[in-house]
Structure 1
Amino acid sequence: MTTVSIKIDFPNDAQYTLSAGNLYRVIARGSQTNGRFSLLVSILKPGQGGPAHTHSNEQESFYITKGELTVFDGETEAKVPEGSFIFCPEGAIRGFRNDSEQDVEMLIFYTPSGIENMIEMDGTSVNALEDYQNHTKARKIACPALNKQFGIEEK
């Protein structure tokens, strides 16, 4: 009989990764969900975000927990306030940025999982949230070689 166990991820135990100028904390990775999904927290400083791009391998969903995010699809853009949910199916053009003067915090849900691996491969470990708050050197975009490997195409 296989033993099934639950996972508890306490905030103070978290490992953060700085990738493409954005801060990520992987809450659930594909290795824990049999590849079904991954769940991340992301914090965007003012001016940070992701350029217009598509994902060919997974759906990407955002739930804004703090602040206001600007979301765009190549033709239109919208200011998305705290408490909003954004769903991006595979192949849909999407981009996002923090146009405000405050940090934006959001949950990002990927199905199936995998993007968390790209973020960790591209990124730099940040030992504590406080280290990020004091971090001033940020990269704007991810490595194009990793984008291709993970089915992401910038638009």
Structure 2
Amino acid sequence: MVEHRILGPEDGELYQPQQACGDRFLVNSREWGGHFSLVEHRLPPKVLAAPVHRHTHEDEFSFILEGSVGARFGDEEVVARPGDLVFKPRDEWHTFWNAGETPARLLEIISPGGLEELFRWLDQLGGEPSPEQLEQKARPYGCSTDMDATMALIAKHGLVF
């Protein structure tokens, strides 16, 4: 049974590599019967959070706390600002990045939970996985990536990944 608690602004399991997406794990799905998870993403300027990808098991919702966050859905691109909620339904190709010159932060709600374990693996890896490693690790989560679309997006916006 989970007990009540308050997490402060720097509590939780935090990974913040240089010039990469940082993650602060706030709600782990394994503590809540797999129903959902909550992760804070911290993005330095012009950092791509993830390759263009889709997942078949989860819906994601990103609530923007600060900065401007670019998001791509198929061929459509949008920019979300603080207070905006971005819906990323399952089975849709998408990604997101810091579209501004200042740090960006967003809360990522994942339902059902479990996908946060893939984020944790990437954070603990300590380096960039090969496309083959990423594809192999993402497959059990119902995820696939499109590295050609990812590289085109990086070139278009001058992003770091």
**1:21 equivalent in structure 2:** 20
Q: How many angstroms apart in 1 are the aligned matches of 2:119 and 2:76? A: 27
Higher strand share: 1
**1-side partners of 2:95 and 2:72: how far apart?**
5
Kindly state the Cα deviation for residue 5 of structure 1 after the two structures are TM-superposed. Answer: 2.5
Corresponding position of 1:42: 41
Alignment coverage as a number of residue pairs: 142
Distance 2:7 2:61 in 1: 21
The two structures have a TM-score, normalised by structure 2, of 0.77
C-alpha distance in 2 between matches for 1:10 and 1:108: 17
The structure with the largest helix share of the pair is 2
Runs of 5+ consecutive residues of structure 2 not aligned to the other structure: 147-161
Tell me, yes or no, if structure 1 residue 116 matches structure 2 residue 107.
no
Partners in 2 of 1:5 and 1:84 — Cα distance?
30
* 3-state SS of paired residue (1:51): coil
Long gaps (5+) in structure 1: 126-136
User: Match of 1:78, SS?
Assistant: strand
Runs of 4 or more above 3 Å deviation = 137-142
Residues 12 and 66 (structure 1), Cα distance of their counterparts in 2 relative to 1, 3 Å cut: closer
Mean alpha-carbon deviation: is it higher for 41-50 or for 62-71? 41-50
Answering whether residue 143 of structure 2 is matched by residue 145 of structure 1, we say no
TM-score normalised to the size of structure 1? 0.80
* Deviation, structure 1 residue 139: 4.0
Deviation per CA, 1:14-52: give whole Å up to 9, x if none. Answer: 321248931011110112211100001110111212222
The 8 Å contact of residues 21 and 139 in structure 1, kept in 2 or not, is answered as: no
Distance in 2 of aligned mates of 1:12 and 1:88 = 26
Q: Is the 8 A contact 2:2 2:31 kept in 1?
A: no
1:6 has 2:4 as partner: yes
Check conservation: 1:122, 1:146, Cα contact below 8 A: no
Mapped to 1, the partners of 2:2 and 2:134 lie a distance apart of: 37
